[in-house]
Structure 1
Amino acid sequence: MKILLVEDDPFTGELISATLKTHRYIVELATDGQIALELANVCNYDLIILDVQIPKLDGISVCRQLRSSGCSTPILILTAKDSNDDIVTGLDAGADDYVAKPCEPAQLLARIRALLRRGSAKCEATILTYGDLCLDPALALVKYQQQVVNLRTKEYSLLELFLRHPQRIFSRNAIIDHLWKIDNCPTEHAVTNLIKDLRRQLKAAGMKEEFIETVYGLGYRVKTAPDQGETANKAKKDKINQTEINKFPTESVAINRIFEQFRSTLEERLKILAVVVPEGWQQVNPEQVQKAKEEAHRLAGSLGTFGYPRGSEIARAIEHLLMETKLESQQISRFSQLLMELKQELNNPPQLLEESPSTLAPRVLLIGEKTEFAESLIAEASVWKWQIQLISDKSKVLQQIASATPIAIVLLLNSSPLTKEQLSLLWELRQEFPSIPFITLGEHDNLDSRVQVARLGSEKYLVQPVTPTEVLEAIYQLLLPIQEKDAKVMVVDDDPTVLKILTHLLQPWGVRVTCLDNPQQFWEVLKSTEPDLLLLDLEMPTFNGIELCQVVRQDPKYGDLPILVVTAHNDRQSTQKVFAAGADDMISKPIVGPELVTRVISRIERSRLRQQLDYLHQQQAAIWQQQARIDPLTQIPNRRALEEFLQQQWQQLIQEQETLCLILCDVDHFKNYNDFYGHPAGDICLKQIAKTIQECIKSSDLAARYGGEEFAIILPKTSLDGALRVAQRIQQKISQLQIPHERSKIKNYVTISMGITGKIPTPEQSFDSLIAIADEALYTAKNRGRNTYCLYPL
């Protein structure tokens, strides 16, 4: 089942995503309302989880627009806004359920299951059965005759796909579309192997009847189920023990990481709140108040989720307090008290969230000699709560895999070129277990070895030296969850018999068909259906297929919709008219079933691929645009970003007649540092300094790497005295780092020199004058012996 999660707080979003993926849901995350709408238009989701306070377009507006466009997908609003008015507003906007943060994972999952059952007829059965075979989607657990069947992720997903659509025929391409990511599509041969693996797993569990039927020339479907009788009733009544959940193993690792990352940001987030009442409400920038209000709202929603329910209550109280237009002395005192209580609460250990029990640690098979690296890999895996089994006797590998299927196989190679024994083992493993992720770890990086293992089907080739964490990360990437989607086709034909034939041909392939026999209703039905493809008859009363095709092509929203025209006329003139009107393809009557299905499915796949690529290109362009302004080493803005920000502030402060200050910083004797400690140590030093500088400035200021070991800080609306205090704070913090520097001619640790300047911008000057004076001040500070600062007012 596919879920769209709309959440702007990165840690809450990652935590909810990881929790849902643990229970086999496929999750796509959107961080603002505009992206959410675009994704909802491109993909089909079974459920949308929607936050209210999100950037660009708030959650209530997103909900209303989805409902007004005819979207019937269940919507669950998950937000920290929990007043009765908020709940009423959300439900009136079209939401199906409303949940206040923080929410226990078990309760959230239960509400999701309830909405999915309510929103789709195919989810009515809580437990999917086929004879004595039983799959419980709520627990992600498969049993045969009450015995747990351990399946890998894709095997489980394939079994669920078949059980949810028992009458449907799936082609290999359709299975690929459901089980693999768009940027990682395998060949059809992989589907054949996956079918074979699932059959073998079910047979090993004791299932004698054939579950999957091959429909030659078309694909696969579920064979007619045996008489279930009392066995099926018993399977439905029997509550599957939660301690046997076949949980996807790596998600617990992801959740733990999210927790750690969240805790590491708390100090910085509390600073955003603390800046509101440093010396009194009157001195605080309204922008800072707004940022503090937004941060309090996010904390109210996320703290309880991460084990601080009391912290959520305090953050919510702070949020309500900040909604006041002006704070009196009593309220300022209350704010300070709440902030102190919040800090004290966050010093306590978090309350552990209720976790779903899991089975034994997932197993990774390591084939090779017992070395120091192998032992360190085994030790690192235990931190991930994985089990690595080392097999040095290669003759026992197949026997070990057959007895207990691993989640991945790692083959350690210690020779180049590869020996016949190693190549033979790799070939045999890929033939017997084609769907198990396979990683090869070699000691030599040469093209021959890479080509040899690539030919034999290794998904990853890593070269020593490599860390154990990198190996486990590579395995984790190969185990990431899958995507799922259905297709909608709108058929317009004035002949009801043709409509029935087309519906009968397409439905077994999982296509949702909307039939229309009155062309006059075409536009209204098109907008309400939002199809992936149009099938139009050429000759119809009132409006013919060519006219309808032209109407679609001239609309900006539907202009790229794939259109197939069905006609009994295949003469040259009719063909020219059809393609001149903008149709993608033409199908002649009488309709040949396999030909129609093949053309429809291929057009839909091609269209979706283009949409996905367009979306990926947009995302990549946004990332590139952002990265073009970020220094890759220190991850703070670069010189280009600094100059753009400086130009913007210069123009703005000309109008406001406020002071703009600039500080240039230079690491003292940094060449000596690199020569003595090496460039990798120098990179670490620059990262520490960049982080420290950022900690010493406000969110409205900008720190950037100016070049080499130079940094620049822009301080809008800050006096020279204020800039001097910032410089002193930076110098003190960097001195406290005590980064060793044996080759320094000043101290035995790293120091910096700074040049400070500032003025009220005027139209007659440019910001270049500010940089020139700051640079001159920095040069003077260096000449004075370094480890100092110099202030040059313009």
Structure 2
Amino acid sequence: MKILLVEDDSVTGELISATLKSHRYIVELATDGQMGLELANIYNYDLIILDVQIPKLDGISLCRQLRSSGSSTPILILTAKDSDNDIVIGLDAGADDYVAKPFEPNQLLARIRALLRRGSVKCESTVLTYGNLGLDPALAQVKYEEQIVNLRSKEYSLLELFLRHPQRIFSRNAIIDHLWKIDNCPSEHAVTNLIKDLRRQLKAAGMKEEFIETVYGLGYRVKAQPSQEEKVKKGKADKRDKNQINQVTTESVAINRIFEHFHSTLEERLKVLAEVVTEGGKSVNLEQQKKAKEEAHRLAGSLGTFGYPRGSQIASAIEQLLIRKTLEEQEVSEFSQLLMKLKQELSNPPQLLEDIPPNLAPQVLLIGEKTELVENLIAEISVWGWQIQLVSDKSKVFEQIGEATPIAIVLLLNTPSPNPEQLSLLWELKQEFPSIPLITLGEQDNLDSRIQVARLGSERYLVQPVTPTQVFEAISQLLMPTQEKEAKVMAVDDDPTMLQIFTNLLQPWGVQVTCLDDPHQFWDVLKSTQPDLLLLDLELPTFSGIELCQVVRQDPKYGDLPILIVTAHTDRESTQRVFAAGADDMISKPIIGPELVTRVISRIERSRLRQQLNYLHQQQAVIWRQQARIDPLTQIPNRRAFEEYLQQQWQQLSQEQENLCLIFCDVDHFKSYNDLYGHPAGDICLKQIATAIQESINSSDLAARYGGEEFAVILPKTSLDGALRVAQRIQQKIAILQILHEGSKLTNYVTISMGITGKIPPPDQSPDSLIAIADEALYTAKKRGRNTYCLYPL
């Protein structure tokens, strides 16, 4: 079997190559995406393994180009980008599987074997099997261990779907598309019930192994069967071929050498990161920062594989920090701390991957009787990547927690107000497990119930009826990670005794205190310290605390910094002056220790929470801006995005004197399609058309929904011949879809008409001229009878 590996990190590439070669695979290594594309187009491979962030052509674009060119070679994406969104993007780009770094070699080999088995199947087996389970399509019969299993129609169809595509992950919507008619689509909850029914039927038939696996956040698929070691006949167990033993030994030595080589390169790779910041604490040029970001990305992907999973996390944090264009003083400090942590982590001996416990789905413990709400919670929780363990017998709650510590506990109150037994259980849970978030679901919204559970430590009180989403969002809020960064306070007071009091009170709470007794140095110390809060004495020599407060408030960078004024003057006039200057709070002398600590920490936490919310709002604004350019139905760019991209390419290609082509596409007789099959079916049709167009173009091109049933394709740096080939690919893909349209006057299937044009953009014209000619070409194609295209060269 021949495998193409596209990986730019030489050490990781060597490790994967050696691992694959030790299992009789022939491996060719490409170090950038362009080389990988050329090799894949020239030679036939049984499997392609892609990294995502690689030079010249990224892995996702390479995967899309291979699929758009008609390649059916199995593709496995192997990358450090492991978020749910990254996985969805990779699979939607055409990948057959997705493995996150750091990876366990045996698991990677198992996934490769599975893909190669699927790719080597030339003809469909008569009977679809999974262990002792068999489905005979010819007889429409299901058997388990030769016993017939009676399934309902939908259960049978679902089982057949999974057995025909054992490696594919099916979302609920995908299952609906496969099993239900267009005019009879149920809710996603019906899929959940169908999955449960099929599992129950197979279990009743005697099937002990779990057949359907839930892929959290993505959908369902057939669970991989446990590998079975080959049985060796008695008497031959000790007779091994000497050559094979020598070969295994040689390959083990080769892999060990790769590990040694990797460790020998760490010092040089860390040096690349260290060069981001000069000795004076300044960030260097953007080119060096970019180089360091790429090195951090490679370390994030490889450190875990070579025994440093914590190092992968730190390197990933460094990578995210270096994504920013410029590093401010605070970010330079954060970078230096992360680099120090990384060096400390790498000074420890490596941890073997097989010693790391598996990443199981976090568990939520639900205490109460089984109700409709409980069933809905169980049905919806997989979307959040969690599991639910329901305990109805309250005497077994502590036994269950002992077996598996939950991330949160949800207590259901089945009485109008909490009874003594429930309150006693709540108290015991918080005494025994104070760090586990506890949520109470009450039946009535009254103050007495809220106070009773609040006294005993319940972090959230929700009133039924409540939706599963509300419950899970409450859990998520309680699970939000706390700030690991040490809190910093800058205290300004001309009395050294007071400064010592501040330090003695706050340091035991993990607060770093910077003391200053000379107000003249205030601004320089503020900039170098970057504190989370200021403690200012009201009366200071030269500059008062109020004046320093006003200076801070007028600065755009430090204007939101929490400020507490400490003073012995608590009269009305002094209080008004303090708050008029912009102070957040005032603490009176003599200092009361618990009061100072509580006010300082609460202000810092509130400030950090506000920063988090501001960041979330900024991220949401970015998402909204992106969504404003996406068509909500087809999920491809809309007309606004089309016009912006066309204008941008027109100006750029006008300067470069490169060709710009445009294709307008219109679905033929779409009104009659809607009249015949209904608008829901019409929406599905448009989605399929959009996907077909999207799959026919390159990553530098843009396909957009221009309006209604009309689509537009922008092809930068493409000749008219190239545009014609794109149009032909679009037409072929839509023909393959075979979307039934009995009202079509041409064929019994949905077709499209296209208008094609292109030219080098003249600087004295606007893109409107290109649009007008493409539109005219489309009109001509319709006039000629539709289901064709017309090319108008300019």
TM-score, normalisation: structure 1: 0.50
TM-score, length-scaled by structure 2 = 0.50
| Higher RCO structure (Cα 8 Å, ≥6 apart) | 1
